Amino acid sequence: MARATDADVTIIGAGPAGSLAGATLSRAGRSVVCLERGHFPRHVIGESLLPRCNALLDTAGLLRSVEARGYMIKRGAVFLRGEDRERFDFGEALPGDRPSTFQVPRDDFDQLLALEARRAGLDLRFGHSVEAVDFDRGGAVVRIRDVEEDRPYDIRTRFVLDCSGFGRVLPRLLDLEQPAPLPRRVSCFTQVEGDARPEGDLEGDIWICIHPVNGWIWIIPFSNGRTSVGMVCDSEHWEQMEGSNRSRLLRRFGEEPNTARRLTNAVPVAQTRCIEGYSRQVKALHGDSWALVGNASDFLDPVFSSGVTLALESATLASGLVERALRGEGVRWDLEYDRTIRNAVGVFLVFVEAWYRRDLETVFFASTKLPRMKRLITSILGGHVLRQDNPLVDDARSALRDLSEAVSSLRAPSSARRPEMGR
Ligand code: FAD
């Protein structure tokens, strides 16, 4: 006799993607188990949300608890290059876009979402690591280890959502990894206290400061008085520098005038961590009874803070499709899931590539700006990359090229082209 199903859906990982999918499917009445190998609160990088997150959290019934937590409100993104400065105000994007979002210490935010999902009915198990998954016609058997007790057990399930982030459980088990879409870069970061923040509504803005030699720096202020500060640059460039990671990072901060001014009286209050080679791509986003969600699928680059937004976007879409599939409705996963998510990632990819080629600076720092152009870009920077009424979504590459050309034709002839930001 075939073994009975233990859970309709098994989710691997309780980051934002796993928690949102778990809350949504549990509220829909499904039996859902989520295995999380760590214990929360745990450290993870990725603290600056985009306004699109608020809409997705709202749909999943998670926004109220996030709003009640008192996180720093983020109303804009500021790009700085020496004396040049451009602020994108999310309140000036397209009609219907949310005007603000949050800067969130991720240990707290992820724990909040996970516990909310548990309140919604999710069977959430911390300290349980997924080691293997055997697929068959009826679904899958998920092989798990209870880490504390060192006890293996398994769960029979109808559908697996892999939300394991950089754990990349199914990409590894099913040989789905592809060459990374972007060159290898390194990111180092820490937290400080005592930075000189702008006042009023501007306090919560993210700052993205272009380093004069290589790469860029982020400054993300929290409401608890701490500020996340980090740098992204070419791996080779980082390796050529001498000293500890912390001393290299502080030296780079000192070399960029906007960062140096802001951090004059700041003191580091956290460990310095580095991550390298985080850009990832997979061959497929779904199979017969599985889907990859969030960072377990593709991850590009942190420059536009798109990671959590894409994690929530894919979790929202995937959980709706799983629910339909479990009801016996036909789902065209290739069109309804893979294509949609790939389109969303593709828009950010065009922007990320243009950023490192430094084409985007031409547009961002243009002295003459067309108001509509700015609204369209702000909407993308707000994470609304599936809005069909934004020409930058429909065909990002050529729309961006047109913008760049339009701006160049308005520009003073003396402004010389800069070398690429690294490779
Ligand atoms: P995660 O948050 O990584 O969660 C995955 C979970 O799965 C983890 O808790 C892990 O313990 C668990 N897991 C892994 N393997 C297993 C297993 N075998 N069994 C059980 N559980 C498992 N994004 C932003 O939106 N804004 C930013 O400002 C930003 N900055 C970034 C800066 C850097 C340097 C980098 C590298 C990324 C940044 N990101 C940012 C991206 C962001 O970190 C991720 O996109 C986001 O965390 C993805 O969420 P997720 O739920 O898919 O995965």
Calculate how far, in angstroms, residue 403's C-alpha sits from the geometric centre of ligand 1: 33
Q: What is the pLDDT of residues 151-170, one digit of tens each?
A: 999 999 999 999 999 999 99
Atom index in ligand 1 nearest the CA of residue 128 equals 20
pLDDT higher than threshold 80 for residue 260: yes
Sorting pLDDT into bands at 50, 70 and 90, what band is 369?
Answer: confident
Residue 220: enclosing H or E segment and its boundaries? strand 216-221
Q: State how far the alpha carbon of 388 is from the alpha carbons of 29, 181, 332, 347, 355, in Å.
A: 32, 25, 20, 12, 23
DSSP state of 154: E
Q: What is the pLDDT of residues 202-255, one digit of tens each?
A: 999 999 999 999 999 999 999 999 999 999 999 999 999 999 999 999 999 999
Pairing relation of β-strands 128-136 and 123-126?
unpaired
Calculate how far, in angstroms, residue 44's C-alpha sits from the geometric centre of ligand 1: 6
Backbone angles phi, psi at 126, to 5 degrees: -75, 150
Q: What is the pLDDT of residues 201-216, one digit of tens each?
A: 999 999 999 999 999 9
204 with 297, same domain: the answer is no
At residue 1, the pLDDT reads: 52
Within 10 A of 173 (CB to CB), how many other CB atoms are there? 16
pLDDT higher than threshold 80 for residue 97: yes
pLDDT higher than threshold 90 for residue 401: no
286 close to 314: Cβ distance less than 8 angstroms:
no
Domain count, the chain: 3
At residue 373, the pLDDT reads: 87
Question: Among residues 246, 276, 306, which one ends one of the domains?
Answer: 276
Mutation choice for ligand 1 from 11, 34, 35, 44, CB with most ligand atoms inside 8 A: 44
Mutation choice for ligand 1 from 153, 164, 172, CB with most ligand atoms inside 8 A: 164
Calculate how far, in angstroms, residue 74's C-alpha sits from the geometric centre of ligand 1: 20
Protein residue whose Cα sits closest to atom 43 of ligand 1: 46
Biggest CA-to-CA distance, the chain? 79
252 with 367, same domain: the answer is no
Q: Which amino acid is at 224?
A: N
Calculate how far, in angstroms, residue 83's C-alpha sits from the geometric centre of ligand 1: 34
At residue 31, the pLDDT reads: 98
Q: Return the CATH number at 211.
A: 3.30.9.100
Mutation choice for ligand 1 from 308, 310, 314, 316, CB with most ligand atoms inside 8 A: 308
172 with 25, same domain: the answer is yes
283 with 193, same domain: the answer is no
Calculate how far, in angstroms, residue 137's C-alpha sits from the geometric centre of ligand 1: 30
Protein residue whose Cα sits closest to atom 29 of ligand 1: 46
Q: Which amino acid is at 152?
A: P
Residue 64 lies in a domain: yes
Question: Among residues 230, 249, 276, which one ends one of the domains?
Answer: 276
The predicted model gives 395-410 an average pLDDT of: 81
Question: pTM for this one?
Answer: 0.96
Q: What is the pLDDT of residues 181-192, one digit of tens each?
A: 899 999 999 999
Atom index in ligand 1 nearest the CA of residue 50 equals 25
Q: Tell the residue number behind the tokens 């010389």, with chain if given.
A: 416
Mutation choice for ligand 1 from 182, 295, 301, CB with most ligand atoms inside 8 A: 295
pLDDT higher than threshold 80 for residue 400: yes
Residue 417 lies in a domain: no
Question: Which of 257, 265, 261, 305 is CA-nearest to residue 76?
Answer: 305
At residue 399, the pLDDT reads: 84
207 with 321, same domain: the answer is no
Protein residue whose Cα sits closest to atom 34 of ligand 1: 187
Calculate how far, in angstroms, residue 295's C-alpha sits from the geometric centre of ligand 1: 6
Cα–chain-centroid distance for residue 67?
A: 19
Atom index in ligand 1 nearest the CA of residue 17 equals 51
At residue 414, the pLDDT reads: 44
Question: Which of 93, 1, 6, 86 is CA-nearest to residue 50?
Answer: 93
Sorting pLDDT into bands at 50, 70 and 90, what band is 419?
Answer: low
222 with 122, same domain: the answer is no
At residue 404, the pLDDT reads: 81
379 with 398, same domain: the answer is yes
Atom index in ligand 1 nearest the CA of residue 230 equals 34
Q: What percent of the chain has pLDDT over 90?
A: 88
Calculate how far, in angstroms, residue 4's C-alpha sits from the geometric centre of ligand 1: 32
Q: What is the pLDDT of residues 327-343, one digit of tens each?
A: 999 999 999 999 999 99
Residue 229 lies in a domain: yes
b/e map 369-388, b = 16+ CB within 10 Å = eeeebbbbbbbbbbbbbebe
Residue 79 lies in a domain: no
What is the overall mean pLDDT for the chain? 94
167 with 240, same domain: the answer is no
Protein residue whose Cα sits closest to atom 40 of ligand 1: 46
149 with 65, same domain: the answer is yes
Atom index in ligand 1 nearest the CA of residue 16 equals 51
Within 6 A (CB) of ligand 1 lie: 12-18, 35-38, 44-49, 129-130, 163-167, 169, 187, 275, 278, 294-296, 299, 302, 305, 307-309, 311
Calculate how far, in angstroms, residue 276's C-alpha sits from the geometric centre of ligand 1: 14
Q: Return the CATH number at 13.
A: 3.50.50.60
Question: Which of 57, 324, 46, 82 is CA-nearest to residue 210?
Answer: 82
Residues spanned by the domain of 141 = 7-70+104-179+279-343
Task: Give the Cα separation of 322 and 290 in Å (integer).
Answer: 9
Pairing relation of β-strands 101-103 and 72-74?
antiparallel
150 with 174, same domain: the answer is yes
Residue 230 lies in a domain: yes
Residue 370 lies in a domain: yes
Residue 297 lies in a domain: yes
Q: What percent of the chain has pLDDT over 70?
A: 96
Question: Among residues 316, 343, 370, which one ends one of the domains?
Answer: 343
Protein residue whose Cα sits closest to atom 12 of ligand 1: 13
Question: Which of 297, 176, 25, 2 is CA-nearest to residue 11?
Answer: 25
Calculate how far, in angstroms, residue 298's C-alpha sits from the geometric centre of ligand 1: 11
Long-range contacts at 326-329 (CB < 8 A, ≥ 24 apart)? 326/8, 326/9, 326/30, 326/158, 326/159
Q: What is the pLDDT of residues 301-310, one digit of tens each?
A: 999 999 999 9
329 with 399, same domain: the answer is no
244 with 383, same domain: the answer is no
Q: What is the dihedral of CA 266, 269, 271, 277, to 10 degrees?
A: -50
Calculate how far, in angstroms, residue 248's C-alpha sits from the geometric centre of ligand 1: 25
At residue 413, the pLDDT reads: 47
Residue 93 lies in a domain: no
Q: Tell the residue number behind the tokens 């791996």, with chain if given.
A: 235
| Least confident window among 56-70, 128-142, 347-361, 391-405 | 391-405
Task: Give the Cα separation of 107 and 124 in Å (integer).
Answer: 17
Sorting pLDDT into bands at 50, 70 and 90, what band is 418?
Answer: low
Q: What is the CA radius of gyration of the chain?
A: 22
Please indicate whether residue 128 or residue 370 has the higher confidence score (pLDDT). 128
Q: How many CA atoms lie within 13 A of 209 on its CB side?
A: 25
